[in-house]
Amino acid sequence: MERTFAIVKPDAVRRGLTGDILKRIEASGLKIVALRKIHLSRVDAEKFYDVHRARPFFSGLCDYMTSGPVVILVLQGEGAISKWRQLMGATDPKNADTGTIRKDFGIDVEKNVTHGSDAPETAAQEIAFFFPAREILA
Q: How far is it, in rounded angstroms, from Cα 96 to Cα 124?
A: 26
Q: How far is it, in rounded angstroms, from Cα 21 to Cα 14?
A: 13
Q: How far is it, in rounded angstroms, from Cα 113 to Cα 117?
A: 14
Does the annotation count 52 as an active-site position?
no
Q: How many CB atoms lie within 10 A of CB 56?
A: 7
Q: How far is it, in rounded angstroms, from Cα 83 to Cα 4?
A: 10
Catalytic residue among 115, 116, 117, 123: 115
Task: Give catalytic residues, as residue numbers.
Answer: 115
